[in-house]
Structure 1
Amino acid sequence: MRNSDRVLRVQHQLTERDWRLLGWLYDHAVLTSFQIAHALFPSLNRAQRRLSQLTGLGLVERFRPFRLEGGSHPYHYALAHTGALIVAATRGDEPPRRATSTTRLHRIATSRNLDHRLGINQFFTDLAGHERLHPGARLHHFWPDTRLNRFFNPPGTNAFGLVNADALGVWAERGQTVAFYLEHDTGTEALTVLVDKLTGYGNLVRRGGPAWPVLFWLHSTTREANLHRRLADRKLNVPAATAARDRLDGKNPAEAVWHLHGAAAPLLRLAELPMPGTVDPAEFDSASPGRTR
């Protein structure tokens, strides 16, 4: 069967939830079964059944990374070739060759940065899980680093700049909307590297870009305290907020876990972080990496 026929045959079997999942995998490479279940399904069992069906349709592939210390990882899911063709078609992108899809899958499965990528994706699937359980909450946009490490035009501005964030998100809850950059920290970089990253964001603001908050998603409270001490010596042109994963105590990144640098106020919810102006999520659609369905 020709690729185009395959696409036409399976696309009518997809739900709105399937389209969202395939779009995430197209942009963000890989998600575990647990991340997918938490973000999109009422139970792990329901998620596993649907993922098995999508695998059978040739839309996704699954693998388990090698674990040196033994044991097994959960299944990791990435786009299969037909899934990539379908998403590319809906976005008007050049359809990938089968060899390209195979190479991409192999690179995802063997990447040294797999854990870092999964950590970034965990942040956003946690937000999506919060959205699923809280009417009125919405993860409007979740852009990958591959979109942001090119020059781009922030909606509503004429500024161009090089942003090396791990991801960009647009989140709304309780009538408030925030656009933010995410820096997912695993503790391997020197704190001076984290502090210096704010220079790039400040340069974008000086060129007329928006002063959207930069979130440092840190692995420990010790590192968080040390980072705030380093930031005390810097003049910041963008809001910087931190949260330490070891003090979450089961809380979600949407909740009041954010320590805004320089503020004496209590911890803030994600949607409460300061914005330079009103954010319209629809303005991101024309600037997003490809059209959404």
Structure 2
Amino acid sequence: MDDPVLRVQSQLTARDRILLGWLYDHGVFTTPQLAGALFPSLDFCQRRLRTLYQLRLIARFRPQRADGGSYPYHWLIDQLGAEVVAAARDERPPRRDHARLERRRWTSTRTLDHRLGVNQFFTDLAGHARTHPGAELQQWLPEVVCQRAGTFVTDDDPALLRAYEPSVRPDGYGLWAEDGREVPFFLEYDTGTEPLGVLTAKVVGYARLFATLGRSWPVLFWLHSAARERNLRQRFTDLPDLLRVATGTREGSACPACQIWTTVGSSERCRLSGL
């Protein structure tokens, strides 16, 4: 019997596999996001996406703008693509309706802008690494994986595994390497719609999490404006010793790898690798 997964395997490049894995793990990307992160040009990216679409590995939709016109194509994993990723990871095959449910989820959800914003943060890092030798996005975990006890606690400490109850929902976890430094971090992506009190309350949850784990990583608050960053920083006082919080703003289309981060208690901006 012809196996479509086996049939398509030989047509995939290493970059295709990364792209499919991102779609499987992180839901939805626009064409410019994938082009900037993985391809030398937009035209090259569009041609390859078209090929993967014709192979029925990925799906797409194109939201309409309220003032007329449309947004770029938004890309999702298709059923065959999900099965290819699961097979490559030696995981159980996805549900037969996996792609249909994902398509319904992202074409109707009000959190689409938030997810695209989170993915923009990480694809900006990947794009920086692609054009800067010595830089690499070594790991990128989605929100759902951050909630699993085994992600940050191993079976070597079963008591800690049982005690692990995440009190926060990071928008992602990353491991960034540049110039010989490695920086693991949690991301909190802010759209500007939540009250500042909600953001400051998250710090308490991170402090509790790090106290349970006995180790910590920087928590990055990626804010939509400089004014909101100033207002939030005024609320951050007397942070626990285990907690290292940094704020940055995407105002002006700054790359998150660059010298835009300020840790609480400092007024100096530093690169992500400096955290």
| Structure 1 equivalent of residue 273 of structure 2 | 271
1:232 equivalent to 2:237? Answer yes
Change (3 A) 1:80 1:34: same
Give the aligned partner of residue 285 of structure 1: none
Residue identity (%):
50
Q: Is the partner of 1:164 in helix, strand or coil?
A: coil
Return the offset for 1:93.
Answer: 2.3
- Note the C-alpha offset of 1:201: 1.1
Q: CA deviation at 1:70?
A: 1.9
Query: Structure 1 counterpart of 2:264, which letter?
Result: H
1:21 aligns with 2:19: yes
Equivalent position SS for 1:152: helix
Displacement of 1:71 after TM fit? 1.5
Matched, 1:188 2:193: yes
For 2:139 and 2:176, locate their aligned partners in 1 and report how far apart those are by CA, in whole Å. Answer: 7
User: Secondary structure of the residue that 1:262 maps to in structure 2?
Assistant: coil
Contact 2:153 2:213 in 1 (8 A): no
Q: Does structure 1 residue 45 correspond to structure 2 residue 33?
A: no
Q: Map 1:33-72 onto structure 2 (within 5 A).
A: 33-72=31-70
Q: Count how many residue pairs are aligned between Structure 1 and Structure 2.
A: 268
Q: CA deviation at 1:155?
A: 6.0
TM-score by length of 2: 0.92
* Matching residue's letter, 1:86: V
Q: Secondary structure at the match of 1:86?
A: helix
| More moved, 74-83 vs 147-156 | 147-156
Match of 2:179 in 1: 174
Q: Deviations over 1:21-71 (max 9, x none)?
A: 000000001100000000001110000000000001111011102333322
Partner SS for 1:207: helix
Identify which range, 75-84 or 196-205, moves more after superposition: 196-205
TM-score, normalised relative to structure 1: 0.87
Judge conservation of contact 1:154–1:209 (CA < 8 Å) in 2. Answer: no
**Is the CA contact 1:145–1:165 (under 8 Å) kept in the aligned structure 2?**
yes
Gaps of 5+ in 1: 274-293
Using the alignment, how far apart are the partners of 2:65 and 2:184 within structure 1?
A: 36
CA-to-aligned-CA distance 1:80-123 (integer Å, 9 cap, x gap): 11000000111222212332321221211221100000000000
Q: Deviations over 1:4-35 (max 9, x none)?
A: x1000001111111111000000001100000
Provide the residue aligned with 1:130 in structure 2.
Answer: 128
Query: How large is the RMSD of aligned CA atoms in angstroms?
Result: 1.7
Letter in 1 for 2:270: L
**5+ residue gaps in structure 2?**
none
User: SS where residue 138 of structure 1 aligns?
Assistant: strand
Q: Following the alignment from structure 1 to structure 2, what is the Cα–Cα distance between the partners of residues 93 and 67?
A: 38
Please give the per-residue CA displacement for 1:164-188, whole angstroms capped at 9, x wherever unaligned: 1010000000000000000000011
